[in-house]
Amino acid sequence: MTNPEINKRIAELYLPCDYLLTKGVVELISTVTKLGAHGEPHEVIEKYGEFNPCENWNQLMPLVVDNKLCLNFEPHDGEYCAESFADSYQHENPQIALCMCLIKVLAAEKESK
């Protein structure tokens, strides 16, 4: 999976807010009702950030903590291994390893509901 595909999948499984996928970027949005020039209401979509846990540790770490993931370096493989109680995923990039493991955990949690 590419980084945008990973970000999109995590957004589908986890985000409690609305978002748009624009050119592979997950953009966080909210719908706001504003008044027009003559007082008529209309809805406007406002973007307030980008969701990119593949490249942003500040967005990824709360998800890692909430889902009790851990990260180990496997010296014999030269890769990082992200683990949960039920699953694991290895990758040379620690953020990708955590994101892919997170997808497995979130998907399993969603299926069990």
**pLDDT tens digits for range 35-85:** 888 889 989 888 889 999 999 999 999 999 999 999 998 877 788 889 987
Asked if 66 and 47 count as a contact pair (C-beta separation under 8 A), the reply is: no
How far apart are alpha carbons 10 and 16 in whole angstroms?
Answer: 11
The first and second tokens of residue 8, run together, are: 């999109």
Helix H, strand E, coil C: the string for 15-66 is CCCEEEEECCEEEEEEEEEEECCCCCEEEEEEEEEEECCCCCHHHHHHHHHH
> Which residues have a Cβ under 8 Å from the Cβ of 3 and sit 6 or more positions away?
52, 54, 55, 96
Quick one: pLDDT band at residue 98, thresholds 50, 70, 90?
very high
Q: For the residues 98-111, what does the mean pLDDT come to?
A: 91
Residue 103 falls in which region: left (phi positive, over 0), alpha (psi -120 to 50) or beta:
alpha
Here the CATH number for the domain that contains residue 107 is 3.30.2120
d(CA 48, CA 32) in angstroms, rounded, equals: 12
Q: What average pLDDT is seen over the chain?
A: 89
| Domain of 16, in residue numbers | 3-112
Pairwise CA distance, residues 26 & 36, whole Å: 29
Number of domains in the chain: 1
Residue 90, helix vs strand vs coil = strand
